[in-house]
Structure 1
Amino acid sequence: MRILIVEDEPKTAAYVRRGLTEQSYAVDVAHDGIEGLHLATSGDYDLVLLDVMLPGADGWSVLRALRRERQTPVLFLSARDAVSDRVKGLELGADDYLVKPFAFSELLARIRTLLRRGSAQVPQRVVVADLEVDLLRRRVTRGGERIDLTAREYALLDYFVHHLGEVVSRTLIAEH
């Protein structure tokens, strides 16, 4: 699964990126709203984590523009904790809103929930011969024995599972 983080605070972006990468997600980071919107509309992301207060274009503007082109799930991560801000984010089309500071375990739970909702057309479990990939739990077994994969190995396997029966170029794989 591929996630875009749009966050101008370098420490927060690095913390979230590191945690998600350790969970085998492929992660890109944009540090301002303009770059974030460009990546979100030109890339193939399963989820966007979006801050509200960004240089260039704020998160509200990014979400409005993104919704005109795509329905990628969006989770706001913001220090703006007023009820009116949370309501505004959700009414603009965000799928969830999490206030900073947050527990990383809660962020992961919300990400998994959003990805589950957004992937109705993708099976939760894929079996090819004796290889089984549990996409929800992010576990791989072969012949009933668990296989531990690195984040990169899992990201590749996940990409191939989501493109079963398709011919994918080296360029597409590298971009993912």
Structure 2
Amino acid sequence: MIKIVCKNVISGFLAVLITILVSGTIQTWAANPNLDGNSHPTRLTVNECIADVKEITDWDEKKVLDAARKICESRQSHAKQKARFLASLKKLGEQNYRRFDEHLPTAIEDSWTIVKSCIDFKEGFTSPHNVAVLSVPENVRSSCYSLGASLVESAPLIKRSE
């Protein structure tokens, strides 16, 4: 009895999921993969940054505070550039040009691939130590999201003629 109920629930869930995917109700710019890795773009307060610095160093308070401020700035930049990238994808998704419609999902997927490849490339050439383990991932993501946003923003937006 329990097996049948579980099987029906799973089958129903899969049917709903497939229906959503086929109908295209999930916006493509909302398909936001988690590229945060070792970064923490949501830990933005000075107290959170201080706690993170203290976790990996035994510095005096002034040095901790200076490092924490820089890390918070890096995290804020990361969050700002990620928001810019997402906004540019949303604007692209709202593009109203018939001949572009069929290419939109691929363009958005490729945009995410570019950002991910940028992150992988940059992190492949970095080996941070000490407090840099907190700032490098943020700086990498900030620059890669900025690159992605610039590429998407450079796409010509043409209004559909009716």
Give the TM-score normalised by the residue count of structure 2.
Answer: 0.26
TM-score of the superposition, structure 1-length normalised? 0.25
As a proportion of its length, which structure holds more strand? 1
Larger Rg belongs to: 2
Higher relative contact order (CA 8 A, sep 6+): 2
